[in-house]
Amino acid sequence: MDDEAVIATNDDASECKRGAVLLGYWQDNYIPYFIKHNQRRAPEINRGYYARVKGVEKIIHKFLSKAGSNAQIINLGSGFDTLYWRLKDQEIKLCNFVEIDFPAVTSRKCYLIKRNKQLLQRIHEKDQEVKLSPTDLHAGPYHCIGADLRNISELESKLYQAEVNFSYPTLFIAECVLVYIENDCVNRLLSWIATKFPKCLFIVYEMCNMNDTFANVMLENMRVRGCNLAGISSCKNLESQQARFQCNNWLGSKAWDMVSVYYSLPNSERQRIEKLEFLDEQELLIQLFQHYCVCLGWTTPEFADCDFE
Ligand code: SAM
């Protein structure tokens, strides 16, 4: 598997987010510190990122309202995601927040955090020291750690270093990550999480419905860029996304395509962002939304109603 090309997908996602933020799709004061380049993307791509960011945020807030003060978030394949800083701006306090990615990505993230006062200030907690190694950073509840998600024993020992409490309510996030990992490794990861975390919710954002011509064009574009989509076979449809959790000992799971997620967002917000850029072909946006989904898995009935309904 070509890890270099997978690692490069983080730059692409960060550039897309930065571009959409600059156009006013949503507010993120921190993404410009992580990525300097800005490529203008097509309006349907920007709307796709908007739906993804806001859809995931909606579930995060539902989880936090149920989880209480012991809540933990573990972002798998987090790339340059800025969620910790955005939650901090909303004065949301978490017991623990862990970001995991390949060491090649976390070393760059740690370096950028160290170099930017605005990023560092937000993670620095009174009376807590910031512990830094070339690939890992620990600062109070915030942890950025380098590990390969295919290696469970490495992941487990890194989570211990990050002082994760396995019995606390925990939200896992994997946005466009599992598709790059071989199915047997994803199954091992999901099954390990289900046994270790009795109170947990998992959000997957990923491709789905990958059996038509539109999907073939999307996949070809990604393969041209050198990406091995090792886990693509589990993206067949919403049922296969849900089944992946059920086959790996999760209590329940549910999936929605991005058409449903987009229309679950507040009308006024949708109207606002639809005025930002002219979109010639509405049909293209709907097609794109039909090929991405959010799937939730839970290990406790407490989180079964964190959804888009
Ligand atoms: N989740 C971020 C977001 O939504 O902006 C980044 C998405 S990017 C498309 C995929 C990320 O998954 C990359 O940062 C990549 O390095 C990470 N990733 C993929 N496979 C991984 C693995 N086996 N271990 C750790 N990270 C991995």
Q: How much distance in Å is there from the Cα of 139 to the middle of ligand 1? A: 22
- SS3 call for 128: coil
Q: Is the CB of 78 under 6 A from ligand 1?
A: yes
Residue 281 structural domain: 3-101+169-303
What residue ranges of the chain have pLDDT lower than 70? 1
Q: What residues are paired with 72 via a beta bridge?
A: 96, 170
Question: Is 36 part of a structural domain of the chain?
Answer: yes
Q: Are 149 and 185 in contact (CB under 8 A)?
A: yes
Q: Is residue 237 part of a domain?
A: yes
Q: Which of left, alpha, beta for 219 (phi over 0: left; psi -120 to 50: alpha)?
A: alpha
Tens-digit pLDDT profile for residues 62-100: 999 999 999 999 999 999 999 999 999 999 999 999 999
Total domains present in the chain: 1
Domain for residue 280, yes or no?
yes
Report whether 293 contacts 205 (CB < 8 A).
yes
Closest-CA residue, ligand 1 atom 9, reads 9
Task: Residue 253: give its domain's CATH number.
Answer: 3.40.50.150
Domain assignment present for residue 87? The answer is: yes
Q: Supply the pLDDT for residue 281.
A: 87
Nearest CA to ligand 1 atom 19: 177
Q: Does ipTM come in above 0.95?
A: yes
Q: How far is CA 106 from CA 29, 36, 123, 216, in A?
A: 20, 17, 15, 32
Residue 174 in domain: yes
Task: Evaluate if pTM is beyond 0.90.
Answer: yes
Pocket flag, ligand 1, residue 175 (CB < 6 Å): yes
Looking at residue 99, its pLDDT comes to 98
- How far does the centroid of ligand 1 lie from the alpha carbon of residue 262, in Å? 23
**Residue at 149 is within a domain:** no
- 206 C-alpha vs ligand 1 centroid, how far in Å? 12
Sheet containing strand 200-207, edge to edge, reads 130-132, 137-139, 142-146, 96-101, 72-76, 170-175, 200-207, 292-298, 252-257
User: 146 and 102 in contact (C-beta within 8 Å)?
Assistant: yes
CA of 176 to the centre of ligand 1 (A): 7
Does 175 map to a domain?
yes
Whether residue 129 lies inside any domain: the answer is: no
**Res 1: pLDDT:** 47
